[in-house]
Amino acid sequence: MTLRQNQIRAILALSGWAALAATALPAATPARWIPVLLYVSLGPGLALLYPQPPALRPGARLEALALAAPLSLSFGALVSTCLFLVHGFSATAFLVALAAFSTVACAFPGLPLPAATRGAVERTKRVRREEG
Amino acid sequence: MQHRVPAPARGSAQQPPGEAADERADGPAAGARRRSVPDLMRPQILFTWLPLATATALWVYSLPGIDFRHMDDWGLIDRLPAAFYLSLAVLTGGFVVSLRRAGTAPWWPGLYSVALLFALKAPTSILYDSVRYPWASKHDAVVNHLLANQELRPGVPLSGNMAAYDQWPGFFTLNAGLVRAFGVDTAASYLNWAPLFYGVVLIPVLVLIYRTFAEDWRLVWTGVWIFEVANWVGQDYFSPQGMALILDLAVLAVVFRHFVRPGAAGELRSRANLDPAAASVPPPTTGRQRAVCVAILAPLIAAINFTHQLTPVMLCVALFALNLTRRYRNPGLLAVTAVIMLIWDVTMGRPLFVETLSSLKESVGNLLNNSRAGYAGELTGPGPVLQGRADIVMVLVVAVLAAIAVVLRRKLVKSALPLLLVSVAPVPLFAVNDYGGEMLFRVYLFGLPGAAFFAAAALVPAAAGQGGGRIRPVVRRRVAAVALPVVLALLVAGFIPAYYGKERMYYTPPAETAMVTRLLDSAPKGSMILAVTGSFPQALHRYDQLEHWYVAEQEEPQNAIMLRDPVGYLEPQLPRDGRPVYFVLTRTQDVYTAGEGLLPAGGFAELRSKLEASPRFRVLERTPYGEILQYVPPSPT
């Protein structure tokens, strides 16, 4: 794990808490809504997708960029709906749940999307052969 | 054709006197900096960035001149200044030029595509001082309802089937979180920006899908461009379907890239069997890898089911279509998707699900009814009529272009068949249900990503000297050189009437909004609110405490009967238990019922004057934007 990767992971791990801290600022100010919007739209997804394994095939970066927002919005919708279902909804609970999720996700490698590595099946076989 | 002559390494007699001295003094770094300035002026690069800068300047200049407050019959079409139209033309020209360098600098057409999104859809977001689309305020009302109740009540019946929003609440709960976290009063403060947000999030997903099937960046970005201009259908407003479409396409993108079965690509593994613009088939994956991928997709699929009723059905239909191919036969994924959908349908969504199932008996097979738009009276007025025609022309142009590609670029169709299948898959849903008069728009929307890709393939020729067919490559390239800019310009021109022709119905003046809000805030709980149509701002404010009846939202012949004697028609159906009944008549309702042909010409004014003249209604408030009447029940004898 390179230093740069660890720095990015640390930023992603803290981003949700930074968004939470921003909610202490005056209502509806850009300094408040911009970090919240950026985090809810991208944070959890990037935390899940980063870092990807080395030897990426072309397009893997594009894939992470494209899927970050859909994944983040999905988790936002799932978390907020569950909070409503358990009668525990508040902005703080919403952001704390997402931020905690992102922090945990950052501790793990990126989602193992199989074809993101060169050759998928062929690669698995090659790795096994090397191991054997 | 320009040829660059390499400059001599050291001082030359032809070099300007000061230049060599400067280079020596500043060192190599400064030399590199200076070299980059003339680079920007090289014709090839100049014509890449200059149109973008010019179009941006023209667009910004045109913004204050957009007179949206005084729209008449033509909607926003004749209120957009010439500079606005010119900026679109320059942008289109710049996009076509940037495509020439798309192979080495794909970010330029990408920038143009984002700029097009903003150019087309940002004016209303920036300028409007109230909610665009009266029905967007319905979704704002749902968010407010959730925040006020702090819980979901999927089983509590609400007037106008509004309980469906508690049954598929994902989009609204997410926005409830955002409203509170932003610290704004309601989602109305940001909902006009939804088309831009959705557009920006959708572009990378589209690019990901298109890149899975095409290596040629020109084809990819032309597809994105066509998608943007053909997306006039207006489903990307502040709505669950806008978000669900993005999630749906994200799932499909992952499926396209990671669910190829080993050994299933066959002859497509050989480059010789692929169209020159096509991408290689993604590498195959093992059963275990695909199972892991299903687990990764599960939250996305669940979120789609939390968010919207129809999109999970569309996703299942698309996955079923993919199962018809050898390459993407993944019954496990289809089963998981269907099970997640059914679990949600029989738990949270049970009331509407059961109701829809029971109504299917009547709607199945009724193709004519299921494929019509809304209550569909005759569009009336130059703007709405032009918009209706432009919509049809846009659909036809994209469909014809896609059909041309399907016929002429068979190799590309073969490798991109999954995308074609996914686009065609929703069409049979016409045979099932009309989805409240919206099925036509939804099927179009879900088919558009694939249609735009193939339409682009008809316009972007295969790489020089390659590709089959009877037409010589030189002729094909020349035809494409003319057809590409012409068709893209025509599509951009067609977007304006197709999207802004009915704009007078969509802009809701703040004074009208305030009048409606005042009434609905003060109406006692249980009151009945009558209106000609539900298409007015804040129509469903406090919808869980008030009952609604939009009297003209019915079949046209019934409206003709109602107009003859409105009070006699309405009175028998009004509550007799002493609850107050109000009739709200607003300017937006007038514009909407006239434009959509719900009432005949002058019908709204006739209805209004008959209600005013009746002793059964008394006027509570009258403003230039509408009036509020209260029903006076007959005194008991």
The pLDDT score that the predictor gives to residue B2 is: 38
Residues B473, B525: one domain? no
Residue B120: inside a domain: no
pLDDT > 60? residue B29 = no
For residue B452, give Cα distances in angstroms to A63, B418, B444: 20, 14, 11
pLDDT > 70? residue B159 = yes
pLDDT > 60? residue A120 = no
Q: How many CB pairs under 8 A join A and B?
A: 173
Domain tally for chain B? 2
Residue B321: inside a domain: yes
pLDDT > 60? residue B13 = no
Among residues 138-157 of chain B, which lie with CB inside 8 Å of chain A? Answer: 146, 150-152
pLDDT > 50? residue B104 = yes
pLDDT in tens, B611-625: 999 999 999 999 999
Domain tally for chain A? 1
Contact A28 B208 (CB under 8 A): no
Crossing angle of helices B287-307/A60-85, nearest 10°? 50
Residues of B in contact with A70 (CB under 8 A): 201, 205, 246-247, 249-250, 300
- pTM score above 0.80: yes
User: Please, what is the average pLDDT of chain A?
Assistant: 86
Q: Which of B503, B535, B564 is the last residue of a domain?
A: B503
Share of chain B above pLDDT 70, in %: 89
- The most distant pair of C-alpha atoms in chain B lies apart, rounded to whole Å, by 113
How far apart (Å, rounded) are the C-alpha atoms in residues B70 and B154?
42
Which residue from B142, B129, B123 is spatially nearest to B538, judged by alpha carbons?
B142
Element holding B586 (H helix, E strand): strand B581-586
Q: Which of B484, B503, B522 is the last residue of a domain?
A: B503
Contact B289 A118 (CB under 8 A): no
Q: Say yes or no: B38 contacts chain A, CB-CB below 8 A.
A: no
Residues B529, B492: one domain? no
Residues in chain A: 132
Residues B410, B540: one domain? no
Local confidence band at B371 (pLDDT 50, 70, 90 cut-offs): low
Residues B547, B451: one domain? no
Torsion angle of C-alpha atoms B215, B219, B220, B221, degrees rounded to 10: 140
Q: Which of B503, B531, B561 is the last residue of a domain?
A: B503
Contact A90 B307 (CB under 8 A): no
The pLDDT score that the predictor gives to residue B431 is: 72
Residue B253: inside a domain: yes
**What interface predicted TM-score (ipTM) does this complex get?**
0.89
Q: What is the mean predicted confidence (pLDDT) over B69-83?
A: 94
How far apart (Å, rounded) are the C-alpha atoms in residues A34 and B274?
45
Nearest-CB residue to A32 (from B182, B250, B289)? B182
How far apart (Å, rounded) are the C-alpha atoms in residues A125 and A8?
32
Residue B259: inside a domain: yes
- Higher-pLDDT residue of B608, B430: B608
Contact A87 B306 (CB under 8 A): no
Residue B25: inside a domain: no
Tell me which residue has tokens 């029940």.
Answer: B633
Q: What is the mean predicted confidence (pLDDT) over A67-85?
A: 97
Residues B446, B376: one domain? yes
Chain A: closest CA distance from residue B490 (Å): 29
pLDDT in tens, B531-574: 999 999 999 999 999 999 999 998 888 899 999 999 999 999 99
pLDDT > 60? residue B101 = yes
The pLDDT score that the predictor gives to residue B8 is: 34
pLDDT > 60? residue B34 = no
Q: Extract the tokens encoding B456.
A: 């682009």
Local confidence band at A130 (pLDDT 50, 70, 90 cut-offs): very low
Residue B608: inside a domain: yes
pLDDT > 90? residue A84 = yes
Residues B573, B601: one domain? yes
Phi, psi for B405 (deg, rounded to 5): -65, -40
Residues B428, B498: one domain? yes
Residues of B in contact with A27 (CB under 8 A): 182-184
> Which residue segment(s) compose the domain that B532 sits in?
508-631
Half-sphere exposure of B623 (CA within 13 A, CB side): 18
Which residue from A47, A32, A64 is spatially nearest to A99, judged by alpha carbons?
A47
Q: Please, are residues B183 and A32 in contact by the beta-carbon 8 Å criterion?
A: yes
Phi, psi for A3 (deg, rounded to 5): -60, -40
pLDDT > 60? residue B374 = no
Going across the sheet that includes B547-550, the strands are B547-550, B528-531, B581-586, B626-631, B617-623
Which residue from B187, B184, B227, B188 is spatially nearest to B206, judged by alpha carbons?
B227
Residue B591: inside a domain: yes
Local confidence band at A2 (pLDDT 50, 70, 90 cut-offs): confident
Most confident of B110-119, B157-166, B281-290: B110-119
Chain B: closest CA distance from residue A5 (Å): 22
Residues B493, B549: one domain? no
Residue B11: inside a domain: no
What region does A29 belong to: left with phi over 0, alpha with psi -120 to 50, or beta?
Answer: beta
Which residue from B419, B578, B597, B410 is spatially nearest to B502, judged by alpha carbons?
B597
Residues B333, B438: one domain? yes
Crossing angle of helices B170-182/A30-49, nearest 10°? 130
Distance of CA A103 to the CA centre of its chain: 9
The pLDDT score that the predictor gives to residue B637 is: 60
Contact B180 A90 (CB under 8 A): yes
For the ranges B183-192, B263-272, B311-320, B412-421, which has the lowest average pLDDT? Answer: B263-272
The pLDDT score that the predictor gives to residue B10 is: 35
Q: What is the mean predicted confidence (pLDDT) over B483-494?
A: 95
> Which residue segment(s) compose the domain that A42 sits in?
3-131
Residues B404, B543: one domain? no
CA angle B562, B563, B564 (to 5 degrees): 90
Which residue on chain A is closest to B298 by alpha carbon?
A: A74
Residues B475, B443: one domain? yes
Which residue from B268, B290, B287, B266 is spatially nearest to B278, judged by alpha carbons?
B268
How far apart (Å, rounded) are the C-alpha atoms in residues A50 and A68?
10
Q: Please, are residues B146 and B128 in contact by the beta-carbon 8 Å criterion?
A: no
Residues B609, B626: one domain? yes
For residue A15, give Cα distances in angstroms to A46, B293, B528, B592: 11, 26, 47, 45
Q: What is the mean predicted confidence (pLDDT) over B236-246?
A: 95
Contact B296 A111 (CB under 8 A): yes
pLDDT > 60? residue B343 = yes
Chain A: closest CA distance from residue B181 (Å): 5
